[in-house]
Every structure is written in C-alpha cells, then in structure tokens.
Structure 1
Amino acid sequence: MPKLACVAGEPSGDLLAAPVLSALNQIPDMAGLEMYGIGGPLMQAQGFRSDWPMETLSVRGYVEALKQLPAILKIRKALVHSLLTSNRPDIFLGIDAPDFNLGVEMQLREAGIPTLHFVSPSIWAWRAGRIKKIAKAVDRMLCIFPFETEIYERAGIAATYVGHPLASDIPLQPDITGARQKLSQLMHFSPDKLAGTVVAVLPGSRASEIEFIAPVFFETMAVLANKLKGQALHFLIPVATARLRAPLETLKSQLQNQYPDIQIYLIDGQADLVLEAADVVLIASGTATLQAALWKKPMVISYKVPWLTGQIMKRQGYLPYVGLPNILCGEFVVPELLQNEATPDALAKALMAWLDHPAKVTQLQSRFAQMHETLRRPTGLLVAQAVAQEIKFKQTKATSI
C-alpha cells in the first residue's frame, strides 16, 4: 500500500491540500493510499490522518513564533522520528509552512525519501537566500504562480507550475445578488435585508491577527459608518475558526455600545460567500487578498504586527508591496496601509475612494479577470499527478533493484 506523508501548518494549507488528496483518491494507481501527518478538517474529510494538531503550527511573525517555538520544535522532532522509523512514507508533500516544512524535508531527503513542496516560499518578495536551503530540501517545487518556475530553474531546482486552486474554485463572474440571497437565508433575514452597501471585513484567521488588526478594523467601521450616515450599510465578518468568535464578539459589542445603529454580522466561515456579496473589502494581508481579487473586489489591504516583528520583516523584504494582488500585477492596483499607516481614518478614506469612483472599480475588475485566467489550472489534479508519478517512479526503481 503506497504511503504519503503530508504537513499543512494552517487553515490556508488545509484548504490547498484538500483538493490534492481528493484527486489522489481518484487515481487508480493510488488505490488504498495511506495519507497521514499534520492537517486540518478539510484534509481529514478526504481520509487523511492528522497525528498532531495543526493549530500549534498556525502562528505568524517572528515574535509570535518564539512563544510557540518549544511546542513546534517538539512536534517536528516527533514527526521526523516517526517518518524515519515506524511511519516511513514513499513520499513527503509539504504544503506551504516553509519554516516548519523545509527542516522536515531536508532530513527526509537526506534519508532517501523524495520530497515535494507545494506553494513556493516567497523568495521573490523577501528572504531570497532561502533558496539555498530549498535546494537541499526539495526534489521538486510545485509553484502556484507562473513567474516562480524561472527562479527555481535558474537555481537548478526542478519546478512545475500548477496554478492556484482558488482560481479554479472561484467562478470567473461573481453573482452578487445570489450571494446576498444565500447569506440572508443563512442568517434568517428577509431577502432584501442586505440591500445597500456591503463591506466585507476580514481581519485574519489567527489569534495574533485578531489581537493586532481587528481593533483597528472595528474602529474603521465606525468611521466609515459615520461617513455614510443615513445610508444602508452592512459590515460582514467571516469568522475563520470557532476560537476567534469570542474576541470578535467582544469587539462587536464594544463598538455597538458606542454606535447602536451600526450593522455588524459575524458569520461562521463563509469567507467566499461574504467576499462575493461585498461591494468593497477591508482585509488583512495574506491568502485571503487573492480570494478577494479572484472575486474581482476593490479592497484595502492592511496589516499590523508587533514593532520588533515589523522591523525584522522590513529589513528582510525587497518588494515595495506585500499584498498578493499587487505582487501579481507588479504595481499598486489596491492600497496597502501597514503598521503605523493603518489608522481608522486612513483605512476608511481608502475604502471611500473605491465607493466614490466606480469607473476605477471597473478597471480593477478587468485586471483581476486577466489574473484569474492566468492562475486557472486543474491545480489539485496536477499536484496529485506529481505525487503519484513520484510514488510510481520509486516503486519501479525498487522493483528493478
């Protein structure tokens, strides 16, 4: 029975990996494939066995990671020991999470286990020196952006462009009316409840992001509501995980105590539906910004981290932008307000600039449509085929010896 070990370190990785595992289950040669390691609920729904909690790895930023470092290192040591002894796989697939996975991959590759890595670390944005470590750790890099393969080929690392799975999952044309109707049903509203301006607010999927970013986002909602006083205005906030609901509920209550008329709705999950329904988006930097771009939404990207983390990241980076839509377009097509620039007044002003200039929104939607076409590939199947090909090659090689 073939064996695949896999590690996804956060919800976005779980989202990326699930279609791959689903496609593997459909490949005849992979019948009975045993899949295990570290993963989330979407992976587990495809028959994956998670031997350690994914949540322990879901941290962002240097300072934040230090707090979790002992637990993370303990898991990595136990994982590697397991994969080199009792649970030795035919192949290892790392899903993003390079700080964790590259160290695992390096040890496994040295022991003769083939390693694939799905989602390139952002060496084109910052920490370019990491490519030397990648060369030692990864047999093949599976890239989600088309410009990445050339970087790896120049460094002598095998790379394959597989597209971004979100580009296949998200339709080319959003249905705003239909999305609002679905949300109204979910929230037991009348069909016309969400008439007016809908603002999607996505402060992040990690506890640290809620701590540093969400308070500013809530204050921004108050400023924007004041600017649009008298108009039908709705703020929709998808709650990424159950443990984030309590702090978001607290922030919501505090704001509504000051502004009783403000309409804020916390919705469990449903990020895509919220984005599809929105007129404009206030969003934390990360994978969700690409989701918003694929839904063709004007947005304002923001991020806040502790001062020390921000200083380290600033010195490591060499692109002028951090948001994926801007990186992929090669220019500032949407505003980024980071750290000290992320004030409620500045964020609200940037959101109003989209609402007040529909012609600019139309131009942006055209750019995002072109991006969508470029990223649209059968990603899950392509990654699954790469995994199956490596397993089959290893099995054939073992038979011939």
Structure 2
Amino acid sequence: MPSLACVAGEPSGDLIAAPALSALKQIPYTRDLRMFGIGGPAMQAEGFISRWPMETLSVRGYVEALAQLPAILRLRSELLHYLLKVERPDIFLGIDAPDFNLGVETRLKQHGVPTLHLVSPSIWAWRGGRIHKIARAVDRVLCLFPFEPEIYEKAGIAASYVGHPLASEIPEIVDQAAAKNDLGIDGITIAVLPGSRQSEIELIGPLFFETIAILAKQLEGQKVHFVLPIAAPHLRPAIERLQQQLLASHPDVQLILLDGDANLALAAADVVLIASGTATLQAALWKKPMVISYKVPWLTAQIMKRQGYLPYVGLPNILCGEFVVPELLQDAAKPEALAREVMHWLSHPAAVQKLQKRFEELHRILKRPTGLLVAQAVEQTLRERA
C-alpha cells in the first residue's frame, strides 16, 4: 500500500490539508493511500494517523520558539528516524510550518523521498534568502496565492497555484441577517478574534478586551454585541478570565463566547477586531471591514522588522497591494486607537461598500478546487515515482 507522510504545524495547516486528504480518497490511484505523520483533528477525520501532537509546533515568533526549541528538535529527530528507518513514505507533503518542514524535507529529499510543500513560505514579504533552502528541500511548491509560482519558476523551482481553500468554503454572497439570527442577536455586531495560540491570548487578549470596554462605552445606548470565537478548547480558561475582569467593571457588555465557529462570528459581524494571521484572510473573504493588530515580544519584533520587505503584515493588505484596512502593531496597538478605527468603519458605510467590492474581486481570484489540485499533484508525483 503506498503511503503519504504529512506534517501540519498548526490549526490553519490542519484545515488547509484536510480537503486534500479527502480528495485523495476519491481518486482511484490514491484511494488506499496510507496517510500518517503530524496533523490535527480535521486531518484525522479524513483517516490521517497523527503519531505526534501538533501543538508542539504551534509556536509563533523567535523568542517563543526558543522556549520550545528542545521539544521541537526532539520531535524532528524522532520524526526523521521514523520516516527513514521505520515507515518510509512514498511521498512527503509538508503543510506550511517552513522552519520545521524545510529541514525535514531536505533530509528526506537527500534520501530519495519526493517532497511537496503546501503553502509557500512568505519569501515575498520577508526572509527571501530562504528560496535557496526551498530549492534544496522541495520538488514542488503548491502555492495558495496567484503571484507566487512566477517567483519560484524564476529560481528554477517547480510550483503550482492551487488557490486558497477558504475561498471555496466561504460563500461569495454573505447572509449576514441569517448569521445574526443563528446567534439570536440584532443590532451592531463586532467580532473579536484575538488569535489561536496561548501566547497570542496572553499578549493580545488584554488589549482587545480593553478595546471592547471602550467601544461599549462609546456605543452606549445602542444595541451592540461582541462575538468572540474561541479558536481551541485550551484557550477558554484564559479568555474566560478576561471576560470576568471585563464584566466586573462593565456588567452591561454583551459578549458572546463561541466554541470555534469563527465563520459564524464573521458572517454576523459589521466590523472585525482581529489579530494578524490567516484569520484576516478569512474575514476578507466574508467581505468584512476589519482592524488588524498584533503584538509580539520586543526582540521578536526587532528581528522581524529587520527581515521584512513590505510595509504591511495583514494578508488583505498584502494581496490588495495597499493598506485597504488599518494595521496597528506593537507600540501603535493601543485600545483607544483600535476603538477609533473600529468606530471609523461603523460610521463610514460608503468606505465599507468600497472595501467589500475589493474583497469580492479577491474572492473570485482565490477560489479554486484547492483540495483536488493538491491531491492531483500528489497523485502525479506518485505516478512519476512508480
């Protein structure tokens, strides 16, 4: 039985990979493909066997990674030993997590295992020198954005545009009224997405909750709801502590906590307060005005600043090539400033309509049968190897 090894390093990678694993089961040549490695619940629901916890790799930033480095190195050593000595795969698919996966892919490629990498590292935004490491590690890069393959082809690296899976999952026409009805709310709705990692909740959570308090006061007398989808169960205790602190001083704030279901929160929202990351693209595909913010430890910020090429970090701005939504990062991330930008969207409907048209165009560009295209790339590589 042929086998596919995969490594997804965080929840977004798990969600991106799952449709491809599902599509592989629909193709006769790969229907009985054995799939194993490191993955999350979405991949496991497709029959994937995760032999190590994905959470070990769910780290963002240099300083944060240092604390987790011994566990990450130990995991990589165990993984490579398993893949080269115990159960050698016929093909390897790395899903995002380039700092981990590129090293694994390099070793496997040296030992004759074909390697694909899904989700291009952001070489167009920062750390462009990694393209040489990618060339040594990967047989083909599967790109989520349409401008990326040309960059790789110029460097002699095979690459394919597969679209972004979120663009197929999210409807092009948003039924906001139905979403609000599902939540049992009406009036102004502000979605709050502080991140999917414990470190993000610790750094960004207090900032966002202070912003909620300011907005609640500014919108006093109006019907307003704040909806916060909790990205993972282990984040709930920290968010509930912040909720209790907020309600102790502002008991009238209407804050709804959801178990996951970011799509419902975004569909219902009039405006979104959001941490930088994949969720910002999700919000753009829901055609929502947003305010992007992010905070990392000072040293991480300095390193990233020196290696960056673009003036923006949010995916909506990167893909549109300009600041279509505000970004308030690091020292600029103050609750008063965030509240001001949220209020700007609420009070400028013409600007919201203009933004929505940009996001509608972006949605059409990114919508491709991503899972099927990834599965076909895996199948083609397996056939060539055979």
Question: Which interval holds the TM-score relative to the shorter structure?
Answer: over 0.9
In structure 1, the partner of 2:110 is 110
In structure 1, the partner of 2:176 is 176
1:351 positional shift: 0.4
1:314 correspondence with 2:305: yes
In structure 1, the partner of 2:167 is 167
TM-score (norm 1): 0.96
In structure 1, the partner of 2:223 is 232
1:374 positional shift: 0.3
TM-score (norm 2): 0.99
- Structure 2 residue matching 1:92: 3-state secondary structure: strand
What is the CA deviation profile of residues 344-372 of structure 1, one whole-angstrom value per residue up to 9, with x for unaligned ones?
Answer: 00000000000000000000000000000
Where do 1:333-344 residues align within 5 Å?
333-344=324-335
- Structure 2 residue matching 1:120: 3-state secondary structure: coil
1:276 equivalent among 264, 267, 287: 267
- Structure 2 residue matching 1:320: 3-state secondary structure: coil
Where do 1:113-132 residues align within 5 Å?
113-132=113-132
In structure 1, the partner of 2:11 is 11
What is the CA deviation profile of residues 237-263 of structure 1, one whole-angstrom value per residue up to 9, with x for unaligned ones?
Answer: 000111100000000000110001011
1:385 correspondence with 2:376: yes
1:32 positional shift: 1.3
In structure 1, the partner of 2:153 is 153
Report the Cα distance in structure 2 between the residues aligned to 1:343 and 1:251, rounded to whole angstroms.
17
2:276 equivalent among 267, 282, 285: 285
1:210 correspondence with 2:191: no
Where do 1:61-76 residues align within 5 Å?
61-76=61-76
- Structure 1 residue matching 2:292: 3-state secondary structure: strand
1:363 correspondence with 2:354: yes
What is the CA deviation profile of residues 138-179 of structure 1, one whole-angstrom value per residue up to 9, with x for unaligned ones?
Answer: 000000000001100111000000000000110101110111
Where do 1:10-89 residues align within 5 Å?
10-89=10-89
Q: Which residues of structure 2 form unaligned runs of 5+?
A: none
Report the Cα distance in structure 2 between the residues aligned to 1:181 and 1:34, rounded to whole angstroms.
42
- Structure 1 residue matching 2:86: 3-state secondary structure: coil
Whichever residue aligns with residue 66 of structure 2, its letter is L
1:183 positional shift: 2.5
In structure 2, the partner of 1:303 is 294
- Structure 2 residue matching 1:213: 3-state secondary structure: helix
Report the Cα distance in structure 2 between the residues aligned to 1:166 and 1:36, rounded to whole angstroms.
24
1:293 positional shift: 0.1
In structure 2, the partner of 1:188 is none
In structure 2, the partner of 1:246 is 237
In structure 2, the partner of 1:97 is 97
- Structure 2 residue matching 1:76: 3-state secondary structure: helix
In structure 2, the partner of 1:141 is 141
- Structure 2 residue matching 1:128: 3-state secondary structure: coil
Whichever residue aligns with residue 357 of structure 2, its letter is S
1:325 correspondence with 2:324: no
Report the Cα distance in structure 1 between the residues aligned to 2:181 and 2:38, rounded to whole angstroms.
37
What is the CA deviation profile of residues 5-28 of structure 1, one whole-angstrom value per residue up to 9, with x for unaligned ones?
Answer: 000000000000000000001111
In angstroms, what is the RMSD of aligned CA positions? 0.5
In structure 2, the partner of 1:187 is none
Q: Which residues of structure 1 form unaligned runs of 5+?
A: 185-193, 396-401
Whichever residue aligns with residue 207 of structure 1, its letter is Q
What is the CA deviation profile of residues 59-103 of structure 1, one whole-angstrom value per residue up to 9, with x for unaligned ones?
Answer: 100000011110011011110111111110010000000000000
1:181 positional shift: 2.0
1:263 correspondence with 2:254: yes
Give me the identity figure in percent: 70
